[in-house]
A and B are shown apart, each in its own frame.
Chain A
Amino acid sequence: MNLTARLKPLNSPLTLAGGVLLLAVLTELLGISLLTRIITVMFVSLILVLGLQLYMGNSGILSFAHIGFMGIGAYISVLFSMTPTAKELTNSNLYPFLIPLHLPFVPSLLIGALAAAFIAAVVGYPLMRLSDAAAVITTFALLVIIHVVLVHWDRVTNGPRTLFGVDNYTTLWISVLFCVIVILAVYFFKESRIGLRLRATRDDAYAAASIGIDMVMMRWLAFIASAFIAGVGGALWAHFITSFSPYSFYLTETFVILAMLVIGGPYSVSGAVVGTLIVTAAREILRAIENYINILQVFPEGFFGFTEVVLAVVLILILVYRPTGIMGSRELRWPPRRGRIESAETNQSVNHIS
């Protein structure tokens, strides 16, 4: 087998990873610090969206807990990466045994992600039987629980106050590196035996069960992997933004990440990438408009919420006119395919009110 044939199944993930790397190189070459910041945050968002895609896209179940796991990843990684002096300065309430802990950035990040995955594994297993509305309410309940704990457990999280003094480790290159790894991981998960079985349960739970697929187990594995990626995203975000509070990991962030995935298309990895790119670009433009109007002081009370209003309208329009998102279930590849090949998944109709 020659090299081209061997690389063929790798075309899509390599195209996506290559695109992301190219974007990083261009950003680096331009060297505009604002742009570098925007692109770095975008890569972190992309990691979060990919994590959500891994669970939601393959299992077909909406999860609200994702941003909660991001919060866990952020807080736990920060516990390890901050120096003891910084911890004493900013969070005097901390349990004494937590203060001397200190590790380099990458181990801290991995511990944060593992903590998120561990919590997902423990609380997630019983939840995996639930579908539809029950699944949505339980994951929503999980988000609320994580939020309440983050807000009130001030001996670990500094409570509702802003935690500051985190070192900035997340550079453009760190974020793009993790982004490429996550793109490949999510793509290979989708194509793996677990991913295939999980997608089978998504399309028809009973048929999948009849050929011996353990739906609960498949969903559980995806849920854990998804929480791990959310934890990585949270840790990267925390070490970029360097000061944050539990309110950063709640409904506003959930909405943005969900909008990115749904607009791009939850059934493909490319959808996650495309959605993140488009929504980030749109948000930055809208926010610039918002800021400009605020500087002009046209409105005495300020001009807020415009970005979210537009995003919400776009999200509703996408759900009405293109419910599988921009990408449907197609994956991007290089060179682009001529003509549109709609796979069966794009046309899948979920049995509901008909």
Chain B
Amino acid sequence: MINLEFIINTLSLGSLYAMLALGLVIIYGILRLVNFAYGELIMMGGYIMFLLAGFTPLPWLVVAALAVLAAMFTSLFTEMVAFRPVREKSLTAMLITSFAVSTLLQNGALLIISPRARAVNLPQIFQTSVMIAGTSVPWRNILTILTSLVMLTLLTLLLRRTVLGIALRAAADNFTMTRMLGVPANTVISAAFAISGIMAGIVSIFWIARSATVTPAIGAPPLLVAFVATVIGGMRSLTGAVVGGFIYAITISLLGIFLPPDLLEFREAFMFVFVIIILLFRPQGLISSKTSTERVG
């Protein structure tokens, strides 16, 4: 059962989940905000692809790029309109805001487009497979792995080599201190939301490609995945997010093989039990970071 096909599929799932988790963690690291509206960014990317690929003659790569941009601008827009005004108030207010933004976007799609699923036109490459060492591997999975490698490299370069990247890392470490050193808070936070949106946009391409449809509620499953992956990884470290994404993919694939069928449908529940256990006994995540301030008492 554990053959090359399984390995490549799990790797591809892991890459996808790693990107998902990164987009959530980059905001959490700075604002301590668990962004419930993150899944709706993926939905946004999906609808833009549906509209542009279905009704315009644009080449597909342009469509994909515009979908990523749409997710990024939605992310930036929600930050400016909803999160910025409540940022100074309380964490609970910010969390409820993100839940409200999520409901708003989801029902906005319901209202403006349709409650029904929409088919998204995708290029041929997402449906074809290639033979590698005697097993057929979907191109989609190979593309996911390659894209995530590129994205991880770009993100690493951004964080290590640019002023913005250093500011982002400093803000994740100690936001107050970073601001005192003259880094404007709004710029850093906007940058984090932009990166988060880009990640969501890229994930949306591959997530939508699996079913080739988009619905208003499509954001919920990836959000749950991102939650679990970030908790496993420790919520505060970007490396942790990537590792968490892969651990999640490996665990869920192995559970798929070894769990008896009547327990298989409870797979998601098991993953969340795992989340609770990690938060209780290792709130800093499986990948340890220097500081952890979640626990009082």
Contacts and interface: CB of A to CB of B under 8 A. Distances in A.
Q: Please indicate whether A and B come from the same complex rather than being unrelated chains.
A: yes
B96 A62 contact: yes
B260 to A, nearest CB: 13
Given A130-B280, A130-B295, A350-B91, A320 B85 contact: yes
Contacts of B111: 303-306, 309
Interface stretch (B2-10, B98-106, B120-128): B98-106
B32 A132 contact: yes
Given A129-B295, A152-B266, A352 B101 contact: no
Interface string A123-149: 100110111111011101110110011
B220 interface: yes
B262 to A, nearest CB: 9
A312 B280 contact: no
A352 B88 contact: yes
Interface stretch (A72-80, A254-262, A333-341): A254-262
B90 A352 contact: yes
A302 B115 contact: yes
B259 to A, nearest CB: 13
A308 B103 contact: yes
B290 interface: no
B136 interface: no
A69 to B, nearest CB: 16
B231 interface: yes
Nearest to A134: B294
A352 B33 CA distance: 11
Looking at chain B, what size class is its interface with the partner chain? 35 or more
Given A309-B104, A353-B31, A141 B96 contact: no
Interface in B51-78: none
A60 interface: yes
A262 B96 CA distance: 9
Interface of B: 28, 31-34, 82, 85-93, 95-97, 99-101, 103-104, 106-111, 113-116, 175-176, 185, 216, 220, 224, 227, 231, 235, 265-266, 268-269, 272-273, 275-276, 279-280, 283, 294-297
Interface of A: 60-62, 123, 126-127, 129-134, 136-138, 140-142, 144-145, 148-149, 152, 205-206, 209, 215-216, 251, 255, 258-259, 262, 301-306, 308-309, 311-313, 315-316, 319-320, 323, 349-350, 352-354
26 contacts: A62-B92, A123-B276, A130-B279, A131-B295, A133-B33, A133-B34, A134-B279, A137-B231, A144-B272, A145-B269, A148-B265, A148-B269, A205-B296, A206-B296, A255-B103, A258-B96, A301-B115, A301-B116, A305-B106, A305-B110, A308-B107, A309-B108, A312-B107, A319-B96, A320-B82, A352-B91
